[in-house]
Amino acid sequence: MTGAFFQSWFLPGVWITVQVTFLSAALAFVISFVIGLARTAPSRIVRILAGIYFEVFRSTSSLVFMFWIAFTVPMLFQIKFIGMAAGVIALGMTYGAYGSEIVRGALAAVPPAQREAGIALNFTRVQRLRRIEIPQAWPEMLPPFNNLLIELLKGTSLVSLIVVADMTFAGNLQRLVTGDSAPVYTLLLVVYFVLAFLLTRGMRLLERRAKAKLGQAPPKGGLFGGLRERGAIDAVTGTAGTAGTGGAK
């Protein structure tokens, strides 16, 4: 690996990966809340529509969907996506569906008496959500959101297949040019792992803050406690997780 390769391909690739992760995480976050809240809406039609969104995107392969957005949509509707837009839209929409299950599950875990108290105080639904339910559900959402964020970071490697020059793309380029693949792919794996590690640190910090605000004990686990968290919701499968499996502990 040469300095020129690092300067012109790998480091810009790392930056693209970070950008794609950040942008699609932002989109996924918004979609998680919109769909997650819609799935608990009083109106039945809204609930059903949001449920269809969740089921469709949970059943779709993110890579196939990305190809579809990147190649089929421009042909069908005569529009063009600039740069990484197709990848960000595809990742954001798929992971947003998984995120909606996190939002829905965490809201459902808030004790019903809290909601009833809000009703008794004549709060509107929006006030209840904003003042009572979301603040209490938020710390519960963060651990599964952390896992989902790492899945999303891993998912960003797929954009290299729709010709976005992220760091996986740079790695493939290096292989094609020099035929020497061992160092660059090893480096790629390490960089992805380090990014995942940094994201986990950041999310743990948020979780600590959120719990402190509610007067709860901070999360345990030191520097080597592992990157994933065991929550009530499995962000990878979009289902209730296995943490609650079984009776006696």
CB of 79 to another protein, least distance (A): 12
The whole-angstrom separation of Cα 142 and Cα 216 is: 14
The residues that bridge with 233 in the sheet, in sequence order, are 240
* 236 near another protein (CB under 8 A): yes
Spatial contact of 90 and 71, defined as CB atoms under 8 Å apart: no
Over the window 182 to 201, marking each residue x when it contacts another protein by CB under 8 A and - when it does not, the resulting string is: x--xx-xx--xx--xx----
Distance of closest approach, residue 224 Cβ to another protein, in angstroms: 9
When the beta carbons of 212 and 244 are compared against another protein, the nearer one is 244
DSSP line for 147-208: HHHHHHHHHGGGGGGGT---HHHHHHHHHHHHS--HHHHHHHHHHHHHHHHHHHHHHHHHHH
- Piece of the chain touching another protein by CB under 8 A; list 6-14, 108-116, 122-130, 238-246: 238-246
Among 111, 112, 126, 245, binds another protein (CB under 8 A): 245
Cβ proximity to another protein: between 206 and 240 the closer is 240
Q: Which is nearer to another protein, 88 or 158 (CB)?
A: 158
Binding residues among 35-54 for another protein as defined by CB under 8 A: none
Cβ closer to another protein: 122 or 245?
245
**Residue 88 token pair:** 């960000």
Among 31, 89, 107, 150, binds another protein (CB under 8 A): 150
For the bound state, the minimum distance from the C-beta of residue 8 to another protein, rounded and expressed in Å, comes to 20
Q: Give 126's contacts (C-beta < 8 A, 6+ positions apart).
A: none
Q: CB of residue 56 vs another protein: minimum separation in angstroms?
A: 6
Query: Rule CB under 8 A: is residue 217 a binding residue for another protein?
Result: no
Which one, of 196, 193, 192, 150, lies nearest residue 14 by Cα?
192
Among 11, 30, 64, 119, binds another protein (CB under 8 A): 64
Closest to another protein by CB, 5 vs 67, is: 67
Instruction: Give the distance from CA 34 to its chain's centroid.
Output: 14
Q: How far apart are CA 31 and CA 18, in angstroms?
A: 20
Residue 42 Cβ, how far from another protein at the closest point, in Å?
A: 24
Summarize as ranges the residues that interact with another protein (CB under 8 A): 55-56, 58-65, 67-68, 71-72, 75-77, 150, 153-158, 160-161, 168, 171-172, 175, 181-182, 185-186, 188-189, 192-193, 196-197, 226-228, 230, 234, 236-237, 239, 241-243, 245-249
